[in-house]
Chains A and B, each alone.
Chain A
Amino acid sequence: MWSTAIWKKTWGDQALLGVAFAMLWAAFPWIYLGLSAQIEMNAFQDILLRAIPEDWQKLSGVPFAEVATHVGRVALAFVDPVVVLAATVWGVTRGSDAVSGQLERGTMEMLLAQPVRRRAVYVTQAVATTVGAACLCGVLYAAVYTAVRFGPWSGRVDPLLFLPAATNVFGLMVCMGGLAAGVSACDSYRWRTIGILCGFYVFSLLAKLVGRLSASFAWVGYLSVFNAYEPQRLVGGGWESWQRLAVYDGVLIGIGLLGYCIGGVVFSRRDLPAPL
Chain B
Amino acid sequence: MLVTTDNLTKSYGDFLALTECSLAVSEGEVFGLLGPNGAGKTTLLRLLLGFIQPTSGTASIAGFDSRSESLAVRRNTAYLPGEARLFRRMRGHQVLDFFTGMRADYCRQRAQRVADRLMLDCRRQVARMSTGMRQKLALAMVLAIDCPLLILDEPTANLDPTARGEVLDLVHEARRAGRTVMFSSHVLSEIEDTCDRVVILRAGRLVHEQSIAHLRRRHRITARLAGPLGELPPELAHSVRIRQMADGRVELEVAESLTDLLGWLASLPLGELRIEPVGLATIYDHYHREGGGNGLALPQQPVASPLQPV
**In this assembly, does A40 line the interface, its C-beta being within 8 Å of a C-beta of chain B?**
no
Tell me whether B84 and A110 are in contact (CB under 8 A).
yes
B264 at the interface (CB under 8 A from A): no
Q: Given A5-B102, A114-B74, A117-B71, is A275 in contact with B51 using a C-beta cutoff of 8 Å?
A: no
Shortest CB-to-CB span from A20 to chain B, Å, is 15
| Residue contact A110 to B81, C-beta cutoff 8 Å | yes
List 11 additional A-B contacts (Cβ < 8 Å) besides A110-B81, A114-B74, A117-B71: A4-B101, A5-B101, A13-B89, A110-B85, A110-B86, A112-B51, A113-B74, A113-B77, A113-B81, A271-B51, A274-B81
Whether the pair B98, A271 counts as a contact (CB closer than 8 A) is: no
Interface residues on A, range: 20 to 34
Q: Is B103 an interface residue (CB 8 A)?
A: yes
Least CB distance, B127 to chain A, in whole angstroms: 11
| Closest B residue by C-beta to A272 | B51
User: Are B51 and A114 in contact, with the CB atoms below 8 A?
Assistant: no
Closest to B84 in A: A110
Of A74-82, A101-109, A127-135, the segment with at least 4 beta carbons within 8 Å of chain B is: A101-109
Whether A105 contacts B51 by the Cβ 8 Å rule is: no
- The contact string, 1 if C-beta is below 8 Å from chain A, for chain B 87-104, is 111000000001111110
Which A111-138 residues have a C-beta within 8 angstroms of B?
112-117
Nearest CB of chain A from residue B41's CB, rounded to whole Å:
11
Q: Is A8 an interface residue (CB 8 A)?
A: yes
Q: Is B138's beta carbon under 8 Å from chain A?
A: yes
User: When chains A and B are docked, how far (Å) is the Cα of A6 from the Cα of B102?
Assistant: 8
Q: B42, A115: Cβ atoms under 8 Å? A: no
A-B contact pairs, 6 of them (CB 8 A): A3-B102, A8-B101, A13-B89, A112-B51, A113-B74, A114-B102
Does the CB pair A106–B88 fall under 8 Å?
Answer: no
Give A109 to B53 CA distance when docked, in angstroms. 15
B183 at the interface (CB under 8 A from A): no
B100 contacts which chain A residues (CB < 8 A)?
A: 5
A6 → chain B closest CB, angstroms:
8
Asked if B79 CB lies within 8 Å of chain A CBs, one says yes
Judge if A9 is at the interface, Cβ distance under 8 Å.
Answer: yes
Give, as a whole number of angstroms, the nearest-CB distance from B178 to chain A.
Answer: 21
Chain A residue contacts of B101, Cβ below 8 A: 3-5, 8
Say yes or no: A115-B85 contact (C-beta < 8 A), given A5-B98, A271-B51, A272-B52. no
Q: Which residues of A contact B89 (CB under 8 A)?
A: 12-13
Q: Check B83 for interface membership: any CB of A closer than 8 A.
A: yes
Say yes or no: is B75 at the interface (Cβ < 8 Å to chain A).
yes
- Chain A residues whose CB sits within 8 angstroms of the CB of B77 once the complex forms: 113
Closest 8 pairs between A and B when the two form their complex, measured CB to CB: A5-B101, A106-B85, A113-B79, A271-B52, A115-B75, A114-B102, A115-B74, A272-B51
List chain B residues, Cβ under 8 A from A275.
Answer: 81, 83, 85
Q: Are B81 and A109 in contact (CB under 8 A)?
A: yes
* CB-CB nearest in chain B for A107: B85
Q: How distant is the Cα of A107 from the Cα of B85 in the complex, in angstroms?
A: 5
For residue A224, give the distance in angstroms from its CB to the closest CB of chain B.
Answer: 36
Chain A residue with Cβ nearest B82: A274
Q: Is B186 an interface residue (CB 8 A)?
A: no
Residues from chain B with Cβ under 8 Å of A116 in the complex: 71, 74, 102
Complexed CA–CA distance, A12 and B197 (Å): 44
- State A121–B105 Cα separation when bound (angstroms): 20
Name the B residues within 8 Å of A105 (CB-CB): 85, 88
Contact A9 B98 (CB under 8 A): yes
Which of A5, A9, A115, A276 lies in contact with B71, CB distance below 8 A? A115
Measured in the bound complex, the distance between the Cα atoms of B71 and A3 in whole Å is 14
Contacts of B49 in A (CB 8 A): 113
Q: With the chains together, A205 CA to B138 CA distance in Å?
A: 46
Q: Is the CB of B103 within 8 A of A114?
A: yes
Looking at the assembled complex, report how far the CB atom of B232 sits from the nearest CB atom of chain A, in whole angstroms: 51
Report the Cα distance A155→B266, complex, angstroms.
Answer: 114
Name the residue on B nearest A114 (C-beta). B102
Complex Cα–Cα for A274 and B98 (A)? 22
CA distance A18 to B46 in the complex (A): 36
Q: Quick one: closest B residue to A117, CB to CB?
A: B71
Chain B residues near A114 (CB-CB < 8 A): 74, 99, 102-103
Report yes or no: B42 in contact with A274, Cβ–Cβ below 8 A: yes
User: What's the least CB distance linking B207 to chain A, in Å?
Assistant: 23
CB neighbours (8 Å) of B103 from chain A are 114-115
| Of B51, B78, B85, B87, the contact of A9 (CB 8 Å cutoff) | B87
Contacts of A115 in B (CB 8 A): 71-72, 74-75, 102-103
**CA of A116 to CA of B98 in the docked complex: distance in angstroms?**
13
CB distance from A90 to the nearest CB of B (A): 19
B145 to chain A, nearest CB (A): 9
Tell me which residues across on chain B come within 8 A of A272, comparing CB atoms.
46, 51-52
CA distance A275 to B51 in the complex (A): 12
Interface residues as binary, B224-238 with A (CB distance below 8 Å gives 1, 0 otherwise): 000000000000000
Give the CA-CA distance A106 to B85 in the complex, in Å.
Answer: 5
| Chain B residue at smallest Cβ distance from A9 | B98
0/1 string, A157-173, CB within 8 A of B gives 1: 00000000000000000
- B96–chain A nearest beta-carbon distance, Å: 12
A12 nearest CB across to chain B (Å): 8
